[in-house]
Structure 1
């Protein structure tokens, strides 16, 4: 090999080793490799930065905003709760999980779908007395399989499509992948329905224990005319909360204690909950209840611009020794205290009458800029926001789903390209108020986009230096059948995906796969499509795909659980893909 080929191969090997064995951020590793290729002269600046202008990468950025709009409006949660229902067996419960998860994942980011389902399933499984370990891994696997059914279902599909457009001038349609993706979903879903119960353990999730957590007491009011009056506590989803429990109901000045789950709720009921700080965030996701403090309605911050914050009072706080009412926290800090914890114990009684002491931890509802504004001020020793604590704008959920539907329809019938449809949809989310510009900016994961874009430089170096052709020659022989070569490419991509990121695996394997096709003198499309499916089909480790890692803790899983269920699923799905791809895209 020439020097450039050796340098390119060294870069790829170094990246693989660093991603697999170090804790260095993936974007830092890939950018370091990009810099090395430019400085060593393997690539010019324009070649190295081509990924940052790739339509696939920019489409992913636009779809982050679309997914954010769906999340912020609670659209996914709204659909999930409507579809889950009350099944009477584990098999039916798994089916109720897998159908909506796979359907939603076909049209939006898998990570967003799984993130929205996890808390709903934790509550749902406790209500049905089913172990979450039987539901959460099938959720992740079906979300992955559902994402393979359309071009926008997973970022990997868009990355490979971007490579095909830039190098081969070929663009895939929205539903072209469904010809293989849907059979894979049906085969994989059937396997999970038949064997997930037998192969997965009965194990509880790693849910934070309340007696070890900072404990608060919070009050929420049942909204008059909302969806909860007339429902029982259980039907309202308030019986088995993840981070706390309902203790009392105050109704017409009368206190009801130790209320049974069949108690019917009425508009105006004041519900008293005890639990961890995340409890208030969890309750803000429930339609039909709102914080009980009168000051909440006086807070001069729009509802959808609020978040929950924990702040520890310092000796320099001017209200030390005063009651909350006397300290005028709302007017001074534009924040409302929902609850107070002292030495890890909740303080009972009305919040406004509690006298503040140094070290008290305040659970407050305030604006998004509070943390940045007061993090380094002397009033508080520590200020931290609770993640995802902004209440969803449920009335916007139909609008967000409408924007998503319009995007899919426009791209599906060929009226617009995927890139154009995604740009208009992200603009639609902003224009309709489903998400604000500042929040949309925070949802765009620049580290992921950087990893993908920088990976293109490695692929370009492998192609231009001839290293991909040399590696392809070592992978296949001239007399190897195209079908066997396709299986080898699929297997290598799957192995890479299990140890590094799925997008990086796809970009690194693309030039090798193209070289394999050239060496055999066959059509390159089956190999490109195989990379799409293989890079997404990560089932054997929690690290191979982000959704697998997301359910690891909540499901109480261990590495062996992934191997036990994921290994046969990978073999089954891989065999289906390798068997079907050449029938759709012939050699």
Structure 2
């Protein structure tokens, strides 16, 4: 081996060591590796630019941008609110079914993020008995189609770069369905092994929020429990104002009526979870203002509005703003939002009109603290355009009528025209850290091949490789990828292992497809560590899990999943 090969190997080993032993972001580590490769002249700028224009990476970024728009729709939120019931078995299978099948088409990280709230908020079961299955269901569902997880697209891009046509949309489906549903059943049988842990106390400032029940509201005629109003993430129904009277506390059997005012207390950042309830309007919307751009203010000690109610003040006309929520530290509020007497030090969250900042009475009454950007509420038409358009785009790609990246690009343009998203929102949602990780991993893989390191490794293991059955070579590639994904990240594991798998295929003279599939499936199979896959990290952060809980529950799942995938690959390709 020459000096260049030793340099590439040193950078490769340092990258893996840093990913395993440090708390630095993977994007920072891969950025440093990329710079090291350029400084040592193992890569030129053209190689890096080529990786930035990788088709799999472009498709992945477009898919994530579209997923952020789909995540605005009411579909997952509406379903999530009804998931958990008094029956644990029913709750488990509902959660598994929704997460598994939706993760086959949508970004599984976004799905888990959307469902963590309803699971934590449920009043029937410890969230710790459902959160790990939620994450694993998303991982399993992501392996069913080409677009289910980013690792599939990364491996697909490597295939294309090496002169192969790449994966078809359904190439993963047989293996993903059989392994996923089998592991889903095994998880259900193993749920007694999951701990019963008290929920983490949420750290947020609790606001007082009012919502009006319109005549056409879907909640009318059904009880609080039937409407699943106790499963809203970090929002608690504390009172109902009806005909001049307050119903407090609100019991599960209280039936919602037209004209009711529902009083919630909780995290204002989750107020969007009320948007998907048809016919339910926030106080600000009832006053003719949207609440996407919110301004938080505190009432000054010399304010002229102290001691008066919002209704008596004519707050909307006075300030060109409507109050979305009120917070009063050290005191619980009660009653209708418009009838609460304002006090010095009250925090108000305001939906403001265009004339708000020009009002001369602002400084006399408020200290302006900050502006909060809230998620845009979609109309029913926008909902249908987003969901229907996404499914149509996926259908075109699945039937090979239209290239997926092309379809997604046109679909994003439609979303902008329909005002589902904006150019600024697209810029904010570009996953820069993920792009750096993938480009860094792709560049490291390029350097390993370009410098001849892969060729040297193949020469070393050549005698062994030619003496073993292809199935054992496949198992070796799978196990190495599996170990790497538990230690680093799924995308990095896929990018770093593919060159080795490709070199092994050339040495053995066997088809590339089973080895490419093995790398893709193993890179997604992070069931043992909370750090190997982003959905595991989400649920790990949401509860008080310990590392041992993932090992105890995840090891049997990993063994079952791996055995099924490898067995199917063996018989599908005759290895």
Q: So what's the TM-score if we normalise by structure 2?
A: 0.88
| SS in structure 2 of the partner of residue 184 of structure 1 | helix
The 5 A counterparts of 1:150-165 are 150-165=145-160
CA distance in structure 2 between the partners assigned to 1:135 and 1:171 by the alignment: 36
Instruction: Verify the 8 A CA contact 2:207 2:326 in the aligned structure 1.
Output: yes
1:310: how far off? 4.2
Instruction: Verify the 8 A CA contact 2:118 2:232 in the aligned structure 1.
Output: no
1:242: how far off? 4.2
| SS in structure 2 of the partner of residue 216 of structure 1 | strand
CA distance in structure 2 between the partners assigned to 1:332 and 1:504 by the alignment: 56
| SS in structure 2 of the partner of residue 409 of structure 1 | helix
Q: Per the alignment, do residues 178 and 243 of structure 1 end up closer, same or farther by CA in structure 2, a change over 3 Å counting? A: closer
| SS in structure 2 of the partner of residue 168 of structure 1 | coil
Determine which of 200, 212, 216 is the counterpart of 2:207: 216
- Is 1:96 aligned with 2:90? no
- Is 1:136 aligned with 2:123? no
Instruction: Verify the 8 A CA contact 1:2 1:465 in the aligned structure 2.
Output: no
1:24: how far off? 2.8
Instruction: Verify the 8 A CA contact 1:27 1:447 in the aligned structure 2.
Output: yes
Deviations 1:195-225 (A, max 9, x none): 1x1221122321428xxx5343222111221
1:555: how far off? 4.0
Instruction: Verify the 8 A CA contact 2:112 2:134 in the aligned structure 1.
Output: yes
| Unaligned 5+ runs, structure 2 | 358-362
Q: Per the alignment, do residues 166 and 206 of structure 1 end up closer, same or farther by CA in structure 2, a change over 3 Å counting? A: same
Deviates more, 1:466-475 or 1:451-460: 466-475
The 5 A counterparts of 1:148-227 are 148-195=143-190, 197-208=191-202, 214-227=205-218
1:395: how far off? 5.0
Q: Per the alignment, do residues 276 and 199 of structure 1 end up closer, same or farther by CA in structure 2, a change over 3 Å counting? A: same
Determine which of 331, 345, 356 is the counterpart of 1:345: 331
| SS in structure 2 of the partner of residue 169 of structure 1 | coil
| Aligned counterpart, 1:542 | 530
- Is 1:405 aligned with 2:391? yes
Q: Per the alignment, do residues 452 and 246 of structure 1 end up closer, same or farther by CA in structure 2, a change over 3 Å counting? A: same
CA distance in structure 1 between the partners assigned to 2:313 and 2:251 by the alignment: 38
| CA RMSD, Structure 1 to Structure 2 (Å) | 3.2
Determine which of 366, 370, 389 is the counterpart of 1:383: 370
Deviations 1:211-267 (A, max 9, x none): xx5343222111221211111121222235443433332223333333432121112
Deviations 1:35-60 (A, max 9, x none): 22122111121112221101101101
| Aligned counterpart, 2:360 | none
| Aligned counterpart, 2:20 | 20
Determine which of 444, 449, 460 is the counterpart of 1:463: 449
1:156: how far off? 0.6
| SS in structure 2 of the partner of residue 247 of structure 1 | strand
1:413: how far off? 1.3
| Aligned counterpart, 1:429 | 415
| Aligned counterpart, 2:47 | 47
CA distance in structure 2 between the partners assigned to 1:423 and 1:242 by the alignment: 33
Deviates more, 1:271-280 or 1:495-504: 271-280
Instruction: Verify the 8 A CA contact 1:243 1:282 in the aligned structure 2.
Output: no
CA distance in structure 2 between the partners assigned to 1:29 and 1:333 by the alignment: 50
CA distance in structure 2 between the partners assigned to 1:47 and 1:367 by the alignment: 50
The 5 A counterparts of 1:18-417 are 18-81=18-81, 84=83, 86=85, 89-123=87-121, 125-126=122-123, 129-195=124-190, 197-208=191-202, 214-278=205-269, 280-293=271-284, 297-299=287-289, 301=290, 306-307=292-293, 310-312=296-298, 335-346=321-332, 350=337, 354-355=341-342, 357=344, 360-365=346-351, 380=367, 382-383=369-370, 385=372, 390-391=376-377, 393-417=379-403
Q: Per the alignment, do residues 278 and 52 of structure 1 end up closer, same or farther by CA in structure 2, a change over 3 Å counting? A: closer
Instruction: Verify the 8 A CA contact 2:73 2:378 in the aligned structure 1.
Output: yes
CA distance in structure 2 between the partners assigned to 1:401 and 1:389 by the alignment: 17
CA distance in structure 2 between the partners assigned to 1:353 and 1:179 by the alignment: 59
- Is 1:446 aligned with 2:432? yes
| SS in structure 2 of the partner of residue 574 of structure 1 | helix
| Aligned counterpart, 2:553 | 565
1:389: how far off? 5.1
1:139: how far off? 1.5
| SS in structure 1 of the partner of residue 71 of structure 2 | helix
CA distance in structure 1 between the partners assigned to 2:318 and 2:508 by the alignment: 73
Instruction: Verify the 8 A CA contact 2:209 2:326 in the aligned structure 1.
Output: no
CA distance in structure 1 between the partners assigned to 2:318 and 2:570 by the alignment: 68
Deviations 1:257-278 (A, max 9, x none): 3343212111221122334545
Determine which of 484, 500, 503 is the counterpart of 1:512: 500
Q: So what's the TM-score if we normalise by structure 1?
A: 0.87
CA distance in structure 1 between the partners assigned to 2:398 and 2:267 by the alignment: 45
Instruction: Verify the 8 A CA contact 1:49 1:454 in the aligned structure 2.
Output: no
Determine which of 509, 512, 516 is the counterpart of 1:524: 512
Instruction: Verify the 8 A CA contact 1:319 1:327 in the aligned structure 2.
Output: no
Instruction: Verify the 8 A CA contact 1:50 1:453 in the aligned structure 2.
Output: no
Q: Per the alignment, do residues 80 and 270 of structure 1 end up closer, same or farther by CA in structure 2, a change over 3 Å counting? A: closer
1:173: how far off? 0.9
1:101: how far off? 1.1
| SS in structure 2 of the partner of residue 229 of structure 1 | coil
Instruction: Verify the 8 A CA contact 1:526 1:581 in the aligned structure 2.
Output: yes
